[in-house]
Structure formats: C-alpha cells, structure tokens
Amino acid sequence: MVTRILIVDDEPDFIRLLERLIRAEVPLCEVFSAVSGSKALELLGRCEMDVVCLDIRMPDMNGFDVLSYIRSNHPLTTVIMITAYGCIEIAVKAIKEGAYDFITKPLEQDVFLITLKKALERVRLLKENLRLRESIKHYEVFQNIVGASASIRRVFDAIRMVAPTDVTVLIRGESGTGKELVARAIHELSDRRDGPFIPVNCPAVPDQILESELFGYKKGAFTHAVQDRKGLFQEAQKGTIFLDEIGDIPMNIQTKLLRVLQEKEIKPLGDTRTVKVDVRVVASTNQDLEKKIAEGTFREDLFYRLNVVPIFVPPLRERREDIPLLTEHFLKKYAKKFNKPVKTISSEAMKLLMNREWKGNVRELENTIMRGILFSLNEELSPDDLSLETRENSKVSQSRGRYSYEVNNFSYREAKERVLQEFHTQFFGQLLSTTGGNISQAAKLCGLERQALQYILKRYGIQADRYRRDE
C-alpha cells in the first residue's frame, strides 16, 4: 500500500530536505508539498493524506487553522507539527488540539525519522481499527458466542448441524475458549430447549461426592443420607446435562456413566432398581483423552460413546481476527453491567491485545477488558488501564536496578526508546504518587516547568488522574 505524506512549510529549502529524507527512508511513499496553508487545503481536498508535516507559522494561515481543518475533515490523517526551537509551549498546545507530535527547527534528522515512522505506524493501526469496526457492524453474535473468523464459523456450523439431533457431543478445547457457551447453544437450538440445562463442573466436585451428585441416592445409602435425593441426571430430565471437563472423573464413575449412555438409565446409590432417564449428554474436555486411554486412566469404550460428534473450539491465538470483535462486545457488556459509559480502546492497546498469547483464551481477554472498564478514569482504554505492559509484552526489563536487553530483537534506537519509556513511567509515576496527581507540585519537585511536564506525561502516556487521591 502506498503511503501519502504531505509537507506544509513556507521554506522551500526545508521542504526539499524533508522530501529527500522521506524518499530515502520510507518505502512505497508519495511525497506532496505545499508552501502555504491554503495550498495544503487544496491538496487535502483532492486526496487523502496519511501524514501531514505541518509548519505552525506561515504567512497566509497558521498551522493551527490547518490542523483544525484536518481534525474535522480527515480524522485518519496524523499531523506532525513543525516549530522553531524554544517554542515548546506552542508545541504542547498543538498536541492538545490534536497533533500527534512535533519536531523542532533546526531539524535533527534521526529524531524526525523516528517521529515519522511512529506516525505511519499509528496511521496503519487507525486504518486497521476502522476496517475492524466496519466488520463489527456485520459480525454475528451466535448464541452469545462472538466471532467472524473462519475457525469460529466452523463451530457455528457444527452447532447448527448437531443441535436438532439428540446425539452425544464432545466439545474439545483449551480452558477459557467458551466450551460451556457451545454446550448451551446446542441446548438452546435443540428440541429440548424448554427443558433444563444442567452444567456439572466435574473437577470441582470431590470424587466421593460426584457419584451421588450425578445419580442420586436412597435414604440410608450412607451416613447422613436421611432422605431420598434425586441426582443431576434426574434433574435434567427432558433436557441436557453438560459434563464439563469429563477427563477428570474417576474410573468407577466412568463405568456408571457408560451405562447411562448405553441403556439410558441410572442406578441411585443404595437402590436395587434402575431409573430410566431421558437426557441428552454433552461433555467437554481440555485434556488429551487419547493419551489418557493409553495410560489406562480413561475408558476407551466411554470415549467412543462420548465422541459421537466432536466439536473443537479453537484457542484465541488461532482466531486473532476475532479479538477486536470480542473486545467491542466486552466493552459494551461491562459498560452496561457497571452502569458506565461505553469506552473505546486506543490503537496502542489494541495492538498489544492482538499480539498477546492469551493463555487463558477468551476468558482472560474478558477479564482484562472488565478490569479496564472498572479502573480506567478515561474514555479511551490505554495499555496502562489494561495492565498489558508486562514482561511478556516487553523484551526490555529492569533487573537489580539495571536494564537488560535481548539485543538480537532491538536496534540501539528502539532499545533506548524502551528504556526511556520505562524510566519516565517509573520516575513520574512515583512523583505523581507523592503529590497525589498534582502536576504543579510534581513540576516544582523535579524542577520542570508545568507545561514541559505536561508534555512529557502526554508523550509517554502517563495519566496524572490515576494518582489523584479521593478527598
């Protein structure tokens, strides 16, 4: 994809300098130029620009007027302001009014290129977010399961196919992938939807209790059995019983469960008679049942009785294109639940969400978004709000007061940027904690002007509101 960059400056020599730099360092780009604000507006009216390098002081109209036009008419365009050295207050004002960053004259070429490349990455993320938001308008929430990826659509198709039948289903997948949602969808789309749906978390029930919970017992069957009690299979009559994580049940109960599947009858503890049950069985596991069969800890005949129709729920790392859809879903869900306004998510935070391993799968993502909505003080969730800046996401860490790097993964500039990010976050975080989020006091303590401190906080994404104390 070709990138369009517009340079707006009333100094032709400066324009030519930036053009040479950009063409040498940025592949697949078209560079446009304008020597005045009015000329820039003409160009912007003809075609969309990805990045605009915009001088603040120009004779016909100043950069702030052009910036205001861009913010109103070209929201995906990223603006880098150009200012004379020493006019930091003006640059800070530009950022407050919507500029992404600024560079100073005389030009430091390395600084400019780093700023430009970050701006281009921001443009890429904004466009990707827009594309994903457009797809969100068309994505499907299928029986509370969110997704549009090919792998999750295969799950939807399997549910639709198997739900109208009465066959036993084995749902396989890692923890947190949504296996119970799949089971509930099968029930809700079946002819048994008016009957009960009884979920059983098999590992959560002690082995010595699980049998009586599933099959019930007669009065006097054991100590404290003072009356007859129905088991969960009887409670699920005319409905569905969901045996979650069935790979954890002991061998003696596996034998009794096999009889239920074969004969459609149970035998309560202490009873001499069997009881017929009309129940559909849906089971799930996150374990390798074939391996357990080889080890002798899971019955092979039970496996084949359960595995009539297998449905595999993919891990989140194999359906990353669903992460923005799930995020949007959870933002709305928990905003409503906690009676808070619906929040958005920053491009930087979304990038981290997309790149994370998500060992806890959808459940981990949901918990992450929920915490962000609970604790964020802003309308837009940042990486800090989601607690995503962990060692997993950053290969620059601090150990025993010194920074260490995986030198094969970063250039000198990248490593330096990461160290600066971590230093500023820690230093100003402690400073703001001391002052309770008071920026004026923090500026005095560290010897900076208030506006300069505000610029640093903005640049490194440090939010003073997070450190304010409730009076």
Please determine, for residue 399, whether its predicted confidence score (pLDDT) is greater than 60. Answer: no
The per-residue pLDDT for 379 is 86
The number of helices, as runs of H, and strands, as runs of E, in the chain is 19, 18
Range 49-73 average pLDDT: 91
Residue 222 has a CB neighbour count (10 Å cut-off) of 11
Domains of the chain listed by start with CATH number: 3-136 (3.40.50.2300), 144-314 (3.40.50.300), 316-393 (1.10.8.60), 397-471 (1.10.10)
The per-residue pLDDT for 244 is 95
Task: Name the pLDDT band for 410 (thresholds 50, 70, 90).
Answer: low
pLDDT tens for 453-463 read 888 888 888 88
Range 161-171 average pLDDT: 95
Range 19-33 average pLDDT: 92
Tokens read off for 336: 């409503």
Task: Name the pLDDT band for 362 (thresholds 50, 70, 90).
Answer: very high
Query: 178, 143 in Cβ contact below 8 A?
Result: no
Place of tokens 């409730």: 470
Please determine, for residue 275, whether its predicted confidence score (pLDDT) is greater than 80. Answer: yes
Range 313-327 average pLDDT: 93
| φ, ψ for residue 359, nearest 5 deg | -65, -30
Which of 37-51, 79-93, 152-166, 334-348 is predicted least confidently?
79-93
Query: 60, 38 in Cβ contact below 8 A?
Result: yes
pLDDT tens for 203-218 read 888 887 898 999 998 8
Query: 439, 454 in Cβ contact below 8 A?
Result: yes
